C-alpha cells in the first residue's frame, strides 16, 4: 500500500476524484460551507452519526463530492487513541468494496499533530493487512493508495514519516510471526536478518552451532538439542552515532516452534506456538524501522533462535546445564525454555558494555492471566529504564504495566542440585521467570517485556499484532535525545565461564 500526505482545503477535498473519501468527524467539529462537512453536520444533527470513535455512516455518490463513496467516521476527542479506532473502523468498512484509492480528510480536526497522523497511518495499514505468504487465496484488500489531506502537511511531515517507518517494521514483525514454523526455521529467520543487514546503517552477523558452543552457551544449546533444525544466534547492529557511545541492546526470544520439549504441551492450540518467536520478530521489525528513521543512537539486536522439540537427545527434567555465565541450571521443566536461551543472550550482551538491555519474550502464560491482551508485562531492575519504557508504551499506544521484582520471589528458584532452577512453581510465574533472568543482568541496566498476551491474537482474529515494535521504537527515539555514556570509560566486564560437560552440548 502506498501512502501520501498533502495539503488540501475542505473544499478541495470534495473535488478530488478518489474511489472513496473518509471524513474524520470530531466531537467538536465546526462545519464549513463545503459539501463534506455539511453532510457530516447534517448526519450528526439527525442522529444518524455519532462522534464516538469508530462510529460511522457510509453513503454513495453524495451531492457535491467527487469521490464515489463517502465514509463519515466519528473521531471523538481527536486524540491518537481515538484516531486509531476511527481509521480502523473506516478501513474495515472499505476492505471488501471495490476501492483502490482513498482520500482521508483530517481538515475537520481542531489540531492535527505528529502523533495523531502517525496513529492514523499505522491504524490504516493494520486494518488493511492480510497475510498471504502461505495462503495464495488470501483476499487481500484492494486498497492501493491512501492519501491523507490536511490544511498544512509540512507541519506533520515528521509524524507521517515516522508512521511509514513503523508500518514497515510492524508488518515485517507480523510476517515472520505469522509464518508457520516450517517457513520460519532458525536458518530462515537468520536469512531475514541477513536481508535486513543490507539496508544502510544496519549490519548482521550469524553464529552457527559451532560458534555458539565455543561461546559456552550451554543453556541455549540444551534447548536446541531435540530438534533437527540447527540453532542460530543472530547479531544485528544499527550504528547511528559514534562507536564510542554505548548501545542499547534488544534481545528477542526466537523459539521458532515450542512443543514444550519432554514436558510436552497439550495438543489444543499448540499450533499457536509458532508465535513463540514474536520477541525475535519484534527485534527484526524495530531494526527495519530504525533503518528509515535513522536516530542518533547505537542499537544491538540479539536473537537466540532454535526449536524446542522432544527427541531422544532432548534435555530432560532434572538435567543440569551450564550457562555462558558459568551458573549451573537445573531444568525442572523443559517447557520453561525461553528463559534458558535468553539467559545466555544476556551474558553475551555484556561484551557491548551497554547503556541498557531490554529482552522481549512470549515468556509465560502467567502474564496472560495477569494482564490479558491489553498490556505487556514490564519488569525493570532500574527505575529510570522502567519509567522510560512505560512512557514509550503510553506515547506509542503500545501499553505495558510495571510488575514487581521483590527478592522474595526468587526463593522458589533455589535447588539442591544447581545454582538455580529454571522454574519456581505456578504462583507468580511471570515474576519468578523475570527473577530468573535478572540473575544474568547484574552487569547492566536491564528490563524484561513479557509479551505472551499481546504479541498475537487467537480465535477468528488469529494472527500476530506486531507488538511491541511501536513501544521499542518510541523508547529508542527517546533515548537518542539523552546523554549517552562512552564505552571508553567503562572497564571490560567479561564473565568467566565454567567448562561445559560435552555430554550436555548439542
| Angle subtended at Cα 202 by Cα 200 and Cα 205, rounded to the nearest 5 degrees | 140
For the chain, domain boundaries:
2-149, 167-504
Active-site residue (options: 174, 339, 355, 435): 339
DSSP 127-175: HH----TT-TT-------EEEEEES-GGGGHHHHHHHHHHHHHHHHHHH
Per-residue pLDDT at 137: 82
Do residues 323 and 218 make contact, with C-beta atoms less than 8 angstroms apart?
Answer: yes
Could you tell me the fold of the domain covering 167-504?
Aminopeptidase (3.40.630)
Do 338 and 256 form a contact (C-beta atoms < 8 A)?
A: no
Calculate the dihedral angle through the C-alpha atoms of 417, 422, 427, 429, rounding to the nearest 10 degrees: 170
Whole-prediction pTM: 0.93
**Known active-site residue 288:** no
Hey, how many other C-beta atoms are within 10 angstroms of the C-beta on 266? Answer: 7
Is residue 339 annotated as a catalytic residue, yes or no? yes
Cβ atoms of 186 and 277 closer than 8 Å: no
CB-side neighbour CA atoms (13 Å) of 386 = 12
- In the numeric block, which cell numbers belong to residue 406? 521483590
**CA-atom Rg of the chain in angstroms:** 24
Measure the CA–CA gap between 194 and 197, rounded to whole angstroms: 5
DSSP helix/strand/coil, 412? helix
Distance CA 91, CA 41 (A): 21
- The per-residue pLDDT for 96 is 84
For the beta sheet containing 319-322, the strands, ordered from the edge strand earlier in sequence to the opposite edge, are 319-322, 328-331, 420-421
pLDDT of 505: 37
Instruction: Tell me which residue of 229, 412, 235, 423 sits closest to 337, measured CA to CA.
Output: 423
CATH number attached to the domain at 2-149: 3.40.220.10
Q: Which of 68, 265, 443, 504 is catalytic?
A: 265
- Which pLDDT belongs to residue 140? 66
User: So what's the pLDDT on residue 39?
Assistant: 96
**Cβ atoms 282, 169 nearer than 8 A:** no
- Give the model's pLDDT for residue 454: 98
Residue ranges of the chain whose pLDDT lies below 70: 139-140, 482-506
What's the pLDDT score for residue 502? 42
- What is the structure's pLDDT at 506? 33
- Which grid coordinates belong to 481? 535525545
Q: What pLDDT is attached to residue 496?
A: 37
Amino acid at each position: 500500500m502506498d501512502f501520501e500526505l498533502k495539503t488540501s482545503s475542505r473544499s478541495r477535498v470534495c473535488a478530488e476524484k478518489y474511489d472513496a473519501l473518509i471524513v474524520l468527524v470530531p466531537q467538536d467539529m465546526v462545519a464549513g460551507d463545503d459539501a463534506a462537512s455539511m453532510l457530516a453536520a447534517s448526519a450528526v444533527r439527525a442522529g444518524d452519526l455519532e462522534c464516538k470513535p469508530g462510529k460511522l455512516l457510509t453513503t454513495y455518490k453524495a451531492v457535491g463530492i467527487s469521490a464515489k463513496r463517502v465514509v463519515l467516521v466519528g473521531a471523538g476527542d481527536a486524540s491518537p487513541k481515538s484516531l486509531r479506532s476511527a481509521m480502523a473502523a473506516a478501513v474495515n468498512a472499505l476492505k471488501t468494496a471495490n476501492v483502490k484509492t482513498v482520500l482521508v480528510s483530517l481538515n475537520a480536526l481542531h489540531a492535527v499533530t505528529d502523533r495523531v497522523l502517525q496513529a492514523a497511518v499505522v491504524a490504516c495499514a493494520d486494518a488493511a493487512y492480510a497475510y498471504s505468504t502461505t495462503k495464495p487465496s488470501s483476499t487481500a484488500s484492494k486498497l492501493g493508495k491512501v492519501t491523507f489531506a490536511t490544511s498544512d502537511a509540512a507541519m506533520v511531515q515528521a509524524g507521517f514519516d515516522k508512521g511509514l517507518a513503523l508500518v514497515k517494521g510492524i508488518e515485517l514483525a507480523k510476517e515472520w510471526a505469522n509464518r508457520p514454523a516450517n517457513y520460519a526455521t532458525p536458518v530462515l529467520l537468520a536469512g531475514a536478518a541477513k536481508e535486513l543487514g543490507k539496508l544502510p546503517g544496519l549490519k548482521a552477523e550469524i553464529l552457527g552451532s559451532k560458534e555458539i558452543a565455543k561461546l559456552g552457551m550451554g543453556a541455549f544449546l540444551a534447548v536446541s538439542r531435540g530438534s533437527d533444525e540447527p540453532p542460530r544466534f543472530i547479531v544485528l547492529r544499527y550504528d547511528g552515532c559514534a562507536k564510542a557511545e554505548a548501545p542499547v541492546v534488544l534481545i528477542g526470544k526466537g523459539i521458532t516452534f515450542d512443543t514444550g520439549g519432554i514436558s510436552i504441551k497439550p495438543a489444543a492450540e499448540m499450533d499457536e506456538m509458532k508465535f513463540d518467536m514474536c520477541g525475535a520478530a519484534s527485534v527484526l521489525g524495530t531494526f527495519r524501522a530504525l533503518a528509515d528513521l535513522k536516530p542518533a543512537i547505537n542499537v544491538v539486536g540479539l536473537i537466540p533462535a532454535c526449536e524446542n522439540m522432544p527427541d531422544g537427545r532432548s534435555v530432560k527434567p532434572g538435567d543440569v546445564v551450564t550457562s555462558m555465565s558459568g551458573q549451573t541450571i537445573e531444568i525442572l521443566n523443559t517447557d520453561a525454555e525461553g528463559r534458558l536461551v535468553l539467559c545466555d543472550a544476556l551474558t553475551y550482551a555484556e561484551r557491548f558494555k551497554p547503556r541498557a538491555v531490554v529482552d522481549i519474550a512470549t515468556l509465560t502464560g502467567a502474564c496472560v492471566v495477569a494482564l490479558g491482551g491489553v498490556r505487556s508485562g514490564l519488569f525493570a531492575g532500574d527505575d529510570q529504564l522502567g519509567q522510560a519504557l512505560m512512557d514509550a508504551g503510553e506515547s506509542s499506544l503500545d501499553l505495558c504495566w510495571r510488575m514487581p521484582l521483590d527478592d522474595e520471589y526468587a526463593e522458589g528458584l533455589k535447588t539442591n542440585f544447581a545454582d538455580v532452577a529454571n522454574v519456581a512453581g505456578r504462583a507468580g510465574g511471570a515474576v519468578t521467570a523475570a527473577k530468573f533472568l535478572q540473575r544474568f543482568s547484574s552487569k547492566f541496566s536491564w528490563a524484561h517485556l513479557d509479551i505472551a498476551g499481546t504479541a498475537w491474537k487467537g480465535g477468528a482474529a488469529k494472527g500476530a499484532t506486531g507488538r511491541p515494535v511501536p513501544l521499542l521504537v518510541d523508547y529508542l527515539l527517546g533515548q537518542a535525545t539523552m546523554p549517552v555514556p562512552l564505552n571508553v570509560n567503562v572497564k571490560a566486564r567479561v564473565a568467566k565461564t565454567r567448562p561445559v560437560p560435552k555430554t550436555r552440548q548439542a
